[in-house]
């Protein structure tokens, strides 16, 4: 129809998220279409939140909301906006029966008792970076409920453990906005094209490099870290590794996923059980990293996905990233 030279004039736009989901639906767990729709609902909320974040400097939505969330942290206005947007999209989508959000103490029942899924979400992570125009993110984890469809979900639907996730992912609102997710068959990333209002497949079947030269942690807490972490950090320095820490988990994780590296949030005196939340920070990223060929653990014997949760807002230490770098950390743990 067209010559190759003519074809070159109009560069193909690539695979949209929607087309990708349709093409891969058979590979999704239980493949009946609801999970696909749920991912579309998340993508829609992500677009709206992305718009709000981009407008944040222009309108009065930067700054504190004047209340504290369930973790006792100051809520930022954008935290509240993102929470509302994601919960509304998931409610309206109809596939989700209940939601756990970082911003809400109790389980949110959507009223869709016929929905087959429940979602744990951190609607806007890294909120201390909002006011200073630094990357922030959304992290989500999806479970197929274990309570009978048609009944009201219970906390047990959320406490199934990381290995039971049906899908997980994140959205990074950075120099570009990118949606990364996995459903058990590899990790794929979709970059948002503003002018078309669509996410396009940009990183297919992502694999984290086996090793790297980046370590990411809040080194200000160094003297509170366990000795094995201190030794590991000293080794990183002696190898002249680069220290890179944004303080936005999604941003730090995404960089390390692409370049190879390790992210550490050890227990500290202030947070002896770790700071990060198991259900909507650690589990989803651990699920992704395993499928991308990396590792995630919480202490010497505990692969993070094997922790049996007891509380929806529970915290955990997190060590996550390139396999060989984590092997070195594990070695320091064993020698302690
Ligand atoms: P905020 O949402 O309160 O900024 O916390 C962000 C976060 O959960 C995660 O995104 C960061 O990696 C980590 O905490 C930063 O914690 P420190 O400020 O203690 O380093």
Q: What is the pLDDT of residues 283-294, one digit of tens each?
A: 999 999 999 999
Task: Read off the DSSP letter of residue 279.
Answer: I
pTM, two decimal places? 0.93
pLDDT reading at 211 higher than 80: yes
What Cα–Cα distance (Å) separates residue 221 from each residue in 21, 225, 253, 293? 42, 7, 19, 29
Ligand 1 centroid to residue 255 C-alpha, Å: 16
| Domain parsing of the chain, residue ranges | 17-203, 214-334
Dist CA 280 CA 83 (whole Å): 13
Ligand 1 centroid to residue 248 C-alpha, Å: 6
CB hemisphere CA count around 111 (13 angstroms): 5
What Cα–Cα distance (Å) separates residue 152 from each residue in 117, 118, 138, 149, 159? 12, 11, 26, 8, 15
What sections of the chain are H helices per DSSP?
4-9, 17-24, 34-55, 77-93, 227-238, 249-259, 283-291, 323-335
Predicted confidence at residue 24, as pLDDT, reads 86
pLDDT reading at 72 higher than 60: no
Alpha carbon 264 to chain centroid distance? 15
Q: Whose CA is nearest to atom 20 of ligand 1?
A: 218
Ligand 1 centroid to residue 273 C-alpha, Å: 15
Is residue 299 very low, low, confident or very high in pLDDT (cuts 50, 70, 90)? confident
pLDDT reading at 331 higher than 80: yes
Task: Read off the DSSP letter of residue 148.
Answer: P
CATH number for the domain formed by residue range(s) 214-334: 3.40.190.80
Find out if CATH 3.30.540.10 is the number for domain 17-203.
yes
Q: pLDDT tens-digit profile of 216-263? A: 999 999 999 999 999 999 999 999 999 999 999 999 999 999 999 999
Q: Closest ligand 1 atom to the C-alpha of 250?
A: 10
Nearest to 48 by CA among 190, 197, 175: 197
Q: Whose CA is nearest to atom 2 of ligand 1?
A: 126
Mean pLDDT over 179-201 rounds to 95
Ligand 1 binding site (Cβ under 6 Å of any ligand atom) = 73, 125-128, 218, 247-249, 252, 275-276
Whose tokens are 């590296």? That residue is: 261
Mean pLDDT over 290-318 rounds to 94
CB 82 within 8 A of CB 123: yes
């Amino acid at each position: 129809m067209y010559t190759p030279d003519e074809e070159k004039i109009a560069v193909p736009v690539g695979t949209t998220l929607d087309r990708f989901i349709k093409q891969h639906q058979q590979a999704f767990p239980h493949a009946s279409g609801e999970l696909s729709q749920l991912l579309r609902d998340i993508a829609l909320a992500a677009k709206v939140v992305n718009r709000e974040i981009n407008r944040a400097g222009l309108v009065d939505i930067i700054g504190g909301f004047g209340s504290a969330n369930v973790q006792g942290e100051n809520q930022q206005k954008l935290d509240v906006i993102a929470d509302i947007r994601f919960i509304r999209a998931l409610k309206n989508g109809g596939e989700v029966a209940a939601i756990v959000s970082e911003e809400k103490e109790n389980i949110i029942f959507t009223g869709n008792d016929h929905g087959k899924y429940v979602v744990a979400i951190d609607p806007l992570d890294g909120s201390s970076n909002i006011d200073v125009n630094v990357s922030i993110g959304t992290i989500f984890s999806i479970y197929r409920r274990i309570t009978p469809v048609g009944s009201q979900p219970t906390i047990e639907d959320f406490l199934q453990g990381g290995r039971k996730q049906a899908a997980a992912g994140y959205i990074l609102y950075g120099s570009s906005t990118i949606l990364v997710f996995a459903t058990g068959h590899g990790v794929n990333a979709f970059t948002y094209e503003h002018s078309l209002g669509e996410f396009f497949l940009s990183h297919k079947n992502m694999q984290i490099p086996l090793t790297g030269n980046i370590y990411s942690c809040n080194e200000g807490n160094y003297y509170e870290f366990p000795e094995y972490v201190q030794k590991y950090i000293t080794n990183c320095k002696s190898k002249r590794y680069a220290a890179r820490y944004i303080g936005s988990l999604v941003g730090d994780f995404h960089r390390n996923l692409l370049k190879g590296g390790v992210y550490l949030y050890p227990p500290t005196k202030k947070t002896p059980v770790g700071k990060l939340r198991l259900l909507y920070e650690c589990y989803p990223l651990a699920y992704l990293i395993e499928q991308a060929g990396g590792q995630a653990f919480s202490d010497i014997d505990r692969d993070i996905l094997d922790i049996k949760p007891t509380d929806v807002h529970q915290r955990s230490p997190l060590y996550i990233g390139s396999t060989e770098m984590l092997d070195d950390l594990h070695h320091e743990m064993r020698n302690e």
